[in-house]
Structure 1
């Protein structure tokens, strides 16, 4: 994944070195991103969809106070890359009621047997009693390999090298391991190709007999966007629950593999990042993208945006409850100023809006005076007007070039406006039957 990481870092470098981030600069950044993703074998359609989303979001979004255009573009890049890798549907891997049966499927050479052991080790370290069942009756040495791995990590094991019926092995294995107190059963099935009809049918038979709680598809990152066809082929035979993407450590096509899996609707549960049994981790697209971008200040930037989003949610909640802050009033007044002369605004509205009626009565100069007063307030005062005492009024008036009387008039109008909002909210609740 190093090539993908270095490519994305070059995109971020272009963002940081940008001057005005106009259409020309943003298009240049998008072209660089496209080159990086296509090199990582991400599907062309997905790349161009992502490009259009980034441009649309960037040019339609207002820059929040305290943030730069660069900050906003980096956040949008981060969000869209997370979405590309299935971030919208990402949930931690959890087990249901015990006993819990997990069936691993995949094509030959995907690293399925090693993944079975890695998963067993991961679950054992999380407090579960785990057993491995060797149901691969085709690959020479599959039984011995899984047995050695089970011994190495200290979990129960069942297999029968004399039996060639995988369904029978699985049924017997579950009985034997249940007797040993095993809670989680991991079944390693034979690797097969999506075009091998008889072997794909065998997957269905094992599923029908075993009725596993989860079917996990193991795919090889070096296959890039080709893993989508594998996921679809297996999904047609069994209810695919999750996916493990292996060999991400050295694959230049890892981005393609992850995005291809996400595009099928399947959830990536784990990733394999090396050959050792510890090179295995739960997949979190948010952390994964943050690691790829590798910006030391990215975490701080994301925290700032998270705080902003929480703040906006709280304001939306208050507005829905019939409450409004001075910050809301300020933004309404600024929006009115953007529309042009007051006379034209009134024509468009068919009369002044209730929420800012008091501010409109005095005309254009009154709006300017109110905005000046509000600009002189701190964010805390805008959000909690009740803290504004005589001393604060004096400071606000001095800073805005107005009088204390002007500040008091604004606060009185604001109080009246809040009463109207509460009445509207209560009326709405009565109508809705609350």
Structure 2
């Protein structure tokens, strides 16, 4: 039986989309065909059509959303357009992939779920045909990288008690959220397309324009573009935190302290995870999750391309395992200290193992999981709409604690 080829309609042609998604999708010709692309800039849309052999380009978004020859919509636009265009696509009977986070609003999530009930998709499964509701897939390529799924998670499961964890993402020169300068390292966190619609979304989240402070707007913009990728990896690795104990916003840097409890198999000891993130003017991507055990430290590091970079310029996902080197000879013999030769090079005390996956491998795995989710009998997808609910719960936990810190929690009596 031949593999169904899904016809893609792509919303957005930013530098990041051109550097990552389009090259990988073009290489997966046995599973996908690039049918249509939308961008508000006609020149960019036409360039992408020519460069990546896309059948049709347009500056009218509905031309893609309602295109009869499009099966799947890739909604790669800013977060304020996630609900609007996802709902339209779902009601038109299109499956949708949208970048994490799906939404930051509970009411927005409800509207998306209602759209799933309204839409109908005809599918061919194992030689049979059936009609069901359209599906939502939430993009987070980091969670599909081979070294993360096959090495990091396996090592983490065997680590035992977790004593401490750290999640970091310090990114430099990220043009899609504003480029800091040497004079003022404060990026513009406004949407490039519709800041009014973004603020309307946040009004829905916080419930009052009075609470929509510049700090909240900046933090939400960061989470909506970069931060939720970190938090989604953190949540898959360590589970859902028990609580948040502190939130600090010093735009353009942000930090959160999460409280966790080890599993009952590890005697339920508490530990904390410190999340630190921000944007500066240094051209690098310092993104990683590190977990500390008693005798082993695990890290998964991400060096994904910055906007405008090609995916093939050495970007990677790397898992690093550090543990005590038990093959070392002891410094003591029969209780007596061995004489150490002055200026001698000390023997290594840490055994370090690295496993690397390329960036394009992470995206390939993600798109293969998407294809399996939409047309296969058994799904390899884990970033579904149900999983996105947990992303939303985590965001609301952070927002709620920050509101308590600021002293503006409103109860029915107040």
TM bucket by the smaller chain?
under 0.3
More relative contact order, 1 or 2 (CA 8 Å, 6+ apart): 2
Higher normalized helix content (fraction of residues): 1
**Largest Rg, 1 or 2:** 1
